[in-house]
Amino acid sequence: MPVGVTDVRSNPNDQIRHAVKVLGKSKSRIAVFDEVYRGKKRIKTVIELMNATGLSRKRVLVEGKTLADNGIVGQVRHKDMTGYEKDKFYGSYKARILEFTKRPHELEKLPTKITPRITGMSNVPIYLPRQMIQTRQITVDDIDSFSRVRKIKNVPNIAPISEKSFKAGIQRIVGESGTFPDWGGEGNDLYTTRVKVFGRRIPTAFAFKGPGLRGKLTPTRMGKNGDQIHRLFMTSAEAFIVQHAGQVAESVPGLMGELAKAKSVSDGKQILYGIIDGDDTKRLIAAYDHAFTGTARRKAVRPRTG
């Protein structure tokens, strides 16, 4: 039985950084990597890769060997010829790795096990003992305050609403009557102690991105300097949620997870984090239609926990 070529116990961001460095700017190497991990086939032969990429046999073998020697693919015999096998880890993070090859300067901002980077702090290497880290990634279905969303199994066909309207709707659902004006340097768009998760109230910080932001949400598209997620985690909260009316790149929860680890160690608490993407946004609006309508906006805020 083939053995995975990556060490699943090591830090994911270190593995991602390693893959991006190996791929570098080589178009042929990137093409082979992209094709090995394209589709559902676990193994692709040299001939299949030649046909798909248009590269020569020699070039496929050279680039394939480089990837295999660096643990990014497995090199095997398949159908009486050389083949390259997917690794589960790199299969999961393929899109993020390719994204970094297009913008390699962003790689330096990627927090790693040894050097988590927090805006406003010096980049002094910090070792985070595993036993001190208490983090958990959650989904909208885990939040008790949004319990009605669990009944919405399919994504409804709902027109997007503005960021301001969505934030106001969340306030109504949880019963938060405070005012939270938007300005460029805020740490969060909404801070409340009225959100319930796993049966208890937890101080929660939200960052909202409405339909005005087109395309996939990435960390660099959050805030003028791409540091909004970092500022979010400087909030005195125990749960951190990023919401976007569209698709959210996996680099967003990836960064949130690393920042959650650092905050867990510094605060000595369990830190929860998660995203609400476009599909879950629609489910939430459908589940709490009363909170997101014009009529509801004119009513007084009333606490609702389910």
pLDDT tens digits, residue range 199-255? 999 999 999 998 888 889 999 888 877 888 999 999 999 999 999 999 999 899 999
Q: Residue 59 maps to which CATH number?
A: 1.10.10.10
Indicate whether 49 pLDDT > 70: yes
The reply to whether 302 falls in a domain is: no
In percent, the amount of the chain with pLDDT more than 70 equals 84
| Shared-domain flag, residues 177 and 263 | yes
| Shared-domain flag, residues 83 and 154 | no
The whole-model pTM stands at 0.57
The reply to whether 194 falls in a domain is: yes
The reply to whether 6 falls in a domain is: no
Q: Distance of CA 22 to CAs 13, 97, 101, 109, 116, Å?
A: 14, 11, 10, 18, 21
| Shared-domain flag, residues 101 and 195 | no
Q: Which of 74, 109, 144 delimits the end of a domain?
A: 109
Residues linked to residue 276 through DSSP beta bridges, in sequence order: 243
Helix (H) or strand (E) holding 192: strand 190-197
Indicate whether 2 pLDDT > 50: no
pLDDT tens digits, residue range 107-123? 777 665 544 544 444 34
The Cα 203–Cα 266 span in angstroms is 16
Q: Is the model more confident about 225 or about 98?
A: 98
| Shared-domain flag, residues 57 and 101 | yes
Q: What is the mean pLDDT of the chain?
A: 84
| Shared-domain flag, residues 60 and 140 | no
| Shared-domain flag, residues 286 and 139 | yes
Range of the domain at 282: 130-297
Residues linked to residue 145 through DSSP beta bridges, in sequence order: none
Q: Is the model more confident about 193 or about 215?
A: 193
The reply to whether 95 falls in a domain is: yes
Q: Which of 109, 142, 168 delimits the end of a domain?
A: 109
Domains in the chain, number: 2
